[in-house]
A and B are shown apart, each in its own frame.
Chain A
Amino acid sequence: MQSKVMDDFRKSSINSSNFVLQLPANYQQTEPELSASISIPASQSNGLPAKNNSETLATFSLPAALAYPVQIPAGVTLQTASGQLYKVNVPVVVTQAPASRPTQREAPAPRPPPGPSNPRLHQETEPASFAAQTHTSLPMIPESDLPHPTYESEITLGEDEASPSQEPVNASPLTQLLNFQISTERALKETVPSRDIDEILKEVIEEESEKARKLSAGSTDNQPDADLGLDLDYAYSQLSELVQLDGPSDNSEEDEEIPQDENDFLGFINAEAIKALQDENISNDSNSISSSDEDPVELTNVEEEDPLNSGDDVVEQDIPDLFDTENVIVCQYDKIHRSKNRWKFHLKDGVMSYGGKDHVFSKAVGEAEW
């Protein structure tokens, strides 16, 4: 089984300093095949209960030297199989549990070691040694180096700020597949708070002991995933706090959108309602219906207005009857004059029929007021 660390490293174009630590599922079996080994600070006497792998520093080409336990220097950014990045501010020691499950991930200390990242993984045996070795391959970092962190060549960088929350992450996921991405960018940016070595040691030891207890309690494969899921949710919840400027949560557009929808909908309703009304009221004028842009609620009013409007059509009926009179004068006009509403007629050679009798005239003069 080949190590996949370098594969990912080659693929990743994020940063040359990034390297991926991938622990194969069967690391336990492939340990001997692992070519690379993690350098471990010689100072294993840091007090870590974990065993110290005194391997020399080497290019980090794979999952953990997997000579368990595997110690990862502090400030390493671990990437789970799900892609979640966790920054470990404390050295991580991956040990193989008696149940053949290597686990145990140390709680990170609030000290991300800055420094350029390199494909090499430097292990710090000292829990307090947050500052990792330089990428230039420092096999070990003596405790004496801790007081003055070497920011230059720090391997581990926490891309993810949620590193502190990574404590619950057990090593069991690591056992399956863990991609450790290490970048030095963050390391450079981040500053390591100055602490006393003794305090740091105490914290690390305590955290590690807790981890051990946690692991001993028996962790299933799902648990780490669940924990990871929780962490993921936590991170997501943080993201959700971001202000959403658009989308359904935008309240500014609600008022505008609703009326538009209503108008469109109403228009749709009007067409249907109008059709229904037309079917019901055939006698009603279609003009009033088609010209109305009222809401469906007001359609009833339109219906009421039709009979009212029909009152305006009084003259219409009189027109056909108006010209069907028996009294007809057929003549010729010499001159028709009008002044405002007063009309004067000068007619000639006419035949009149009225009162049941016919009359003729050679000339007729008339006045009428319109």
Chain B
Amino acid sequence: MAYQLYRNTTLGNSLQESLDELIQTQQITPQLALQVLLQFDKAINTALANRVRNRVNFKGSLNTYRFCDNVWTFVLNDVEFREVTDLVKVDKVKIVACDGKSE
């Protein structure tokens, strides 16, 4: 079972909103919407694992850290994300990371 972690991304949120509208108009059933989301989870996990090959570095100050249910949640302040091409500075960023170790 793939992580449902990526549903809270721009892409995932957009999908969910669309599905909710379809449910409201009763064009689809909620069960169908759920199946759609599950399919989305599988697809995004596979794509990130296979179709992405870049590396990012970041550096900043740690405001908070949380580890619960094997999920890390950080809040960083004044973070610089450095990628090969460009540099982005952010005042505040939240990082949610699930356990990536394979079983």
Contact = CB atoms under 8 A, between A and B. Distances in A.
Interface of A: 322-323, 325, 327-334, 336, 341, 343, 345, 347-355, 358-370
B74 to A, nearest CB: 7
A328 B96 contact: yes
A333 B98 contact: yes
A370 B9 contact: no
Given A352-B56, A364-B56, A331 B96 contact: yes
A369 B94 contact: no
Contact of B59 (A333, A334, A366): A366
B102 to A, nearest CB: 10
Contacts of B11: 351, 358
B56 to A, nearest CB: 4
B56 A359 contact: yes
A360 B55 CA distance: 9
Interface residues of B, number: 45
A353 B5 CA distance: 14
A360 B52 contact: yes
Looking at chain A's contact residues, is the secondary structure mostly helix, strand, loop, or mixed?
A: strand
A366 B65 CA distance: 14
B14 to A, nearest CB: 11
Contact of A349 (B48, B59, B90): B48
B88 A355 contact: yes
Nearest to A356: B10
B60 A366 contact: yes
- Interface secondary structure of B, over-half rule: strand
A26 B9 CA distance: 123
Contacts of A348: 100
A9 to B, nearest CB: 99
Interface in B70-103: 72-76, 79, 81, 83, 88, 90, 92-101
Contacts of A333: 72, 97-100
B28 interface: no
29 contacts: A323-B73, A327-B93, A328-B94, A328-B95, A329-B93, A329-B94, A329-B95, A330-B9, A330-B96, A332-B100, A333-B72, A343-B62, A343-B65, A343-B74, A345-B97, A347-B97, A349-B100, A350-B56, A351-B6, A351-B48, A358-B11, A361-B55, A362-B54, A363-B56, A364-B56, A364-B57, A364-B58, A368-B76, A370-B65
B8 interface: yes
B97 A332 contact: yes
Contacts of A363: 54-56
Contact of B56 (A334, A361, A367): A361
